[in-house]
Chains A and B, each alone.
Chain A
Amino acid sequence: MLHFAVLTGYNLIMRKLFSSITKHDIILISALLIFSIAALFFLPKTGDTVQVFHDGEIVYEAALSKNCEFQIFGKYTNIIKIENGKAGYFYSDCPNADCVHIGMISAGMAACAPNGTILRIISEAEVDVVVR
Chain B
Amino acid sequence: MMNFALPGLKPGFSNIAVVVALIVLGGRYAVVISLIKAFASFFATGSVTVLWFSLAASLLSVLAMIILYRTKKFSPIGISAAGGVFSGLGQIIVICALSGTPLYFYYLPILSIFGVLFGAIMGFLAEAISKIVLKQRKN
Contact = CB atoms under 8 A, between A and B. Distances in A.
Interface of A: 17-18, 20-22, 24-26, 28-29, 32-33, 35-37, 39-40, 43, 53, 55-56, 96, 98-99, 101-103, 105, 107-111, 113, 116, 118, 120, 131-132
Contacts, number: 103
A110 B103 CA distance: 10
Contact of B74 (A22, A43, A55, A108): A22
Nearest to A27: B78
Given A33-B116, A98-B5, A116-B98, 17 more contacts: A17-B124, A20-B77, A21-B78, A22-B75, A24-B73, A28-B82, A29-B81, A35-B112, A36-B110, A40-B109, A53-B101, A98-B7, A108-B106, A131-B103, A132-B100, A132-B101, A132-B102
A112 to B, nearest CB: 10
Contacts of B99: 55-56, 113, 116, 118
A131 to B, nearest CB: 6
A12 to B, nearest CB: 17
B103 A21 contact: no
A120 to B, nearest CB: 6
Interface of B: 2-7, 68, 73-78, 81-82, 85, 95, 98-104, 106-110, 112-113, 116, 120, 124, 127
Prevailing SS type, chain A contact patch: mixed
B109 A32 contact: no
